[in-house]
Amino acid sequence: MARRRFLAAAVLGVASFLVLGVWSASPTSAEGRARLSVAVTSADVEAIVKRVGGAEVETFNLFKGCVLRKDLLVESGAMESLAGADAVVWSGLFHESSAIHASIEKLPPARREKLGRPQWIDVSRDAVRINVPTSSCEGYVEIQFMYGDPFFWLNPRNGRPVAHNVAEGLSRLRPEKREVFLANADAFAREVDADIARWEVEMRALSGLKVFATQCGWQNFAQLGGPTFITCRRDPGTLVPPDVLAAQINGQPVDLILVDPNTPPEYAETFGRKTKVKVVMAPSSLADLPGATSYSSLFDNVIKVLKSSAPPR
């Protein structure tokens, strides 16, 4: 019942947000008219929105860190921009919509009445999800993840449907730019296809490598071949205590431990002290990769880290 209540509340969150108030002004495009103000729930999808929308969009990110954490709320600095957003680009994960709704509910009533009515663009349509439990420890799937792993954009092959979903959504707001948005999405997809061909070659050298990852989602990237990524979580968004993870690592063949910049430092310290496996760091989001702006940068970086750190075999 609790899981059903969560799902119902999340759907209600989307519906409630869609029926609120009025618009506010956005920056101007190269043609001198207001750019579309687009809120995005992931920095990685935001990079695709910028590539597809070009000069027609101004984007901002709603969340920082793991979107699965239980205390997820819209960043305070993004609330003002959210009030005037033309669109919200999200992954279809109800935890995101529920967090947006919860953030709005915390505003004073007079402030809530002034919020806009954005177009919601779900980029998960036609994306391929890997059907594995979010928790490899417990072996069950929470109801909000019953359609598969929520981090589908970490499979670069999903870059194409994500880009076209963005193009279709933006076209509903600016129909006269439809051909431009679709052409940008096609160009982005061709670029990613070329990168995928290159990555598949590079990943062959990593075939058979077993990587224990503290962050969710890398199993999506493994669909290109190369390493096997192992994770262990009990509640989605909550890491198992470091001592327990160290025992998990020691109980199976692991070649590398991959931690994320958002992983608390005591985890890397415990792994270094209680296992004999090398610990390396690579972000699972562009938000934590300094200087990176393109979608492909995230995958270039993780391949570079793994290739430079993999033990000789």
Q: Do 78 and 183 share a structural domain?
A: yes
Task: With H, G, I as helix, E, B as strand and everything else as coil, classify residue 183.
Answer: helix
Q: Do 17 and 123 share a structural domain?
A: yes
pLDDT for the residue 202: 96
Q: Do 183 and 61 share a structural domain?
A: yes
189-219 pLDDT, tens digit per residue, is: 999 999 999 999 999 999 999 999 998 889 9
Question: In the chain, pLDDT over 70 holds for what percent of residues?
Answer: 83
For 274, the domain range is 204-309
Q: Do 212 and 122 share a structural domain?
A: no
Q: Do 171 and 81 share a structural domain?
A: yes
Q: Is residue 141 part of a domain?
A: no
Q: Is residue 138 part of a domain?
A: no
In whole angstroms, what is the distance from residue 167 CA to residue 163 CA?
A: 6
The beta strand positions in 6-70, using DSSP E, are: 36-40, 57-61
21-36 pLDDT, tens digit per residue, is: 333 445 676 566 799 9
Number of domains the chain contains: 2
Q: Is residue 227 part of a domain?
A: yes
Q: Is residue 140 part of a domain?
A: no
75-87 pLDDT, tens digit per residue, is: 999 998 998 899 9
Q: Do 298 and 162 share a structural domain?
A: no
Q: Do 215 and 168 share a structural domain?
A: no
Query: Which CATH number do you get for residue 253?
Result: 3.40.50.1980
149-159 pLDDT, tens digit per residue, is: 889 999 999 99
Is residue 139 predicted with pLDDT exceeding 80?
A: no
pLDDT for the residue 291: 94
In whole angstroms, what is the distance from residue 276 CA to residue 118 CA?
A: 51
Q: Do 296 and 229 share a structural domain?
A: yes
In whole angstroms, what is the distance from residue 245 CA to residue 222 CA?
A: 21
In whole angstroms, what is the distance from residue 43 CA to residue 53 CA?
A: 15
Q: Is residue 121 part of a domain?
A: yes
Q: Is residue 168 part of a domain?
A: yes
pLDDT for the residue 145: 66
